[in-house]
Amino acid sequence: MSEEDPKDKSLDPKNWDEFRSLAHRMVDDMLDQVKGVRDEPAWQEVPSSARKEIQRELPMAGLGDEEAYQLFKENIFPYTNGNRHPRFYGWVQGTGTPLASMAEMFASAMNPHCAGFEQASTYVELQVVDWLKQVMGFPSESSGVLVSGGTMANFVGLAAARDDRAGFDVWNEGLQHSKAPRLVFYGSSETHGWAQKAANLLGLGSSAFRPIPVDSDFRIQVSQLKKTIQEDRHQGLKPFCVIGTAGTVNTGSIDDFDALADVCQSEDLWFHIDGAYGAWARLSDSRKHLVNGIERADSLGFDLHKWGYLPFEVACVLVRDPLAHRRPFSIEGSYIPKVDRGCLKSGLPFAPLGIELTRNFKALKVWLSWVSQGVDRLKEQIEQNIAHAEYLKSVVEEDPQLELLSEVVLNVICLRFNPGGLDQERLNEINLEILHRLHESGLAVPSSTVLHGSFVIRLALTNHRTRRADLKLLADEVVRHGRDIV
Ligand SMILES: *Cc1c(COP(=O)(O)O)cnc(C)c1O
């Protein structure tokens, strides 16, 4: 035992008993709030009084745990964007679960450095990635890693594609190599904005992303894709990758993956799928066929913090060829020697699979949730969201003042108030006003998009707390506000 010396300072509590009782209260407050979330507004603005408490002078002298916690509890804790609430349907955001929150607490208390090392977290992440390969139909020899989100997962996939298919040594030469042909890649015009961000960050330039028109169901036109590839080759460009999307942000559409895989095969292109939320259709008996061919991708990015219901952040990228996965990220350093004993015995297996070196223990919330709830519970929730979308569709169809604006493929539904006799411009104005009123009243948080010039109220049902009655209420309120505005 080393002796305590008052000259040695630490950030641990001075009085563990006091801290323990505060910590227990914190957990109780956390659970009370989540349990009671249905009775709270779906969203509310951060009041200026709370903003004032947040925006403090650089606190040189601390206030102590108790006072700091009270400030948090009153001014920060209540004001979220609302995605935990049963009537939050905006964009595509997961709800989180109380069990996963506990996992997050333990992940931070264990605080393991998840680049690797000989420690349990390494085995947990390897196991979780292995489960995800099974769910998505990837071979067990393929490579994968957990990352912060879909953007990062897709970025890693595209980086692997670039370095594998550029036709020269990108690692050494970079893209400033003047003699190399210009690299281009493809996806539908409905591809999420990550593709342009990644194109820029990978040195390709965002114009290297070639958006291909979609059909009336918002799916990539494969014939157009083939034609554009030929034209680009004629122009001396070098196509290297095609992106398919499972669940577009606007309408939840899913590209024809078998057709895209065939194109990639015959054109010798890398096939990446952005499966951010739609990849989870794999778990739905009724919708699985929609993502046929997903298992043929060279790489697949998808979130667990959207339709996997887990709290932010966690996503996964799977790459069929383990060597290709590592190529953009492998470095060597004398500070990470290869050893077969001690703490570094297992090496740093996750460091060459992405941008980050120091990584947190994201895998724990996945492992604990799946072991506790089983994949069957996850399937049940996913089927429920799909059934809820069908239910809301029927509510909309039965009400002559509501209009459905896209096919309900999975869990995304686009609707608007349209009592008839109003022009597009007026309808757009009215529906925007309805959206604002839904948010500001705290009733519900859907989001919006524009489809063929129509402003629509868009719901993505990735919420495990939603009940049918919540969706009926939303539809009724859209009509009520609409009538009121007219
Ligand atoms: C959400 C989403 C992304 C981005 O994922 P993040 O986790 O937000 O980084 C990419 N593609 C699609 C289709 C998405 O829905």
63 is written with which tokens? Answer: 């206030």
Half-sphere exposure (Cβ direction) of 345: Cα atoms closer than 13 Å = 8
Looking from the CA of residue 277, the nearest atom of ligand 1 is 15
Structure letter (DSSP) for residue 254: B
DSSP character string of 187-240: EETT--THHHHHHHHTTS-GGGEEEEPB-TTS-B-HHHHHHHHHHHHHTT-EEE
- Residue 272's beta-bridge partner residues? 243, 299
How close is the Cα of 461 to the center of ligand 1, in Å?
A: 15
Which stretches of the chain score pLDDT less than 50? none
Query: Rounded to whole angstroms, what are the CA distances from 328 to 70, 185, 237?
Result: 46, 17, 22
Other beta carbons within 10 angstroms of residue 223's beta carbon come to: 12
Looking from the CA of residue 248, the nearest atom of ligand 1 is 13
- Residue 417's beta-bridge partner residues? 402
Least Cα distance to 273 among 305, 248, 251, 250 occurs for 248
Contact, 368 vs 131, CB < 8 A? no
Least Cα distance to 447 among 436, 166, 160, 107 occurs for 436
The model's pLDDT over 389-413, given as tens digits with 9 standing for 90+, comes to 999 999 999 999 999 998 999 999 9
Least Cα distance to 92 among 430, 429, 413 occurs for 413
How close is the Cα of 44 to the center of ligand 1, in Å?
A: 25
Q: No. of H helices and E strands in the chain?
A: 14, 11
Res 461: pLDDT: 97
Residue 158 CB-density burial (10 A; 0-12 exposed, 13-18 middle, 19+ buried): buried
The model's pLDDT over 232-271, given as tens digits with 9 standing for 90+, comes to 999 999 999 999 999 998 889 999 999 999 999 999 999 9
Contact, 102 vs 77, CB < 8 A? no
DSSP character string of 169-189: -HHHHGGG-TTSPPEEEEEET
Pocket of ligand 1 (CB under 6 A): 92, 149-151, 192, 194, 245, 247, 249, 274, 276-277, 303, 315
d(CA 297, CA 189): 20
446 is written with which tokens? Answer: 């859907």
- Residue 227's beta-bridge partner residues? none
d(CA 413, CA 184): 33
Res 2: pLDDT: 76
Q: Which residue out of 81, 89, 91, 92 has the highest number of ligand 1 atoms within 8 Å of its CB and is therefore the one to mutate? A: 92
Q: Which residue out of 192, 302, 458 has the highest number of ligand 1 atoms within 8 Å of its CB and is therefore the one to mutate? A: 192
Q: Which residue out of 83, 303, 305, 412 has the highest number of ligand 1 atoms within 8 Å of its CB and is therefore the one to mutate? A: 303
Res 1: pLDDT: 62
Looking from the CA of residue 246, the nearest atom of ligand 1 is 13
The residue whose CA is least distant from atom 14 of ligand 1 is: 276
Query: Rounded to whole angstroms, what are the CA distances from 58 to 9, 55, 61, 62, 190?
Result: 22, 9, 9, 10, 44
Q: What is the reported pTM?
A: 0.96
How close is the Cα of 333 to the center of ligand 1, in Å?
A: 33
Res 334: pLDDT: 65
Taking the alpha carbons at both ends of the chain, their separation in whole angstroms is 77
d(CA 448, CA 414): 8
The residue whose CA is least distant from atom 5 of ligand 1 is: 150
- What's the length of the chain? 486
Looking from the CA of residue 245, the nearest atom of ligand 1 is 13
- Dihedral over alpha carbons 95, 99, 102, 103 (to 10 degrees): -90
How close is the Cα of 306 to the center of ligand 1, in Å?
A: 9
How close is the Cα of 151 to the center of ligand 1, in Å?
A: 6
313 preceded by a cis bond (ω within 30 of 0): yes
The residue whose CA is least distant from atom 2 of ligand 1 is: 276
Q: What are phi and psi of 221, to 5 degrees?
A: -85, 105
Radius of gyration of the chain (CA): 25
Helix ranges (DSSP H) in 48-203 = 48-54, 65-75, 98-110, 120-136, 150-165, 170-173, 194-201
Res 385: pLDDT: 97
64 is written with which tokens? Answer: 């102590």
- 315-339 burial, b at 16+ Cβ within 10 Å, e below that, comes to bbbbbbbeebbbbbbeeeeeeeeee
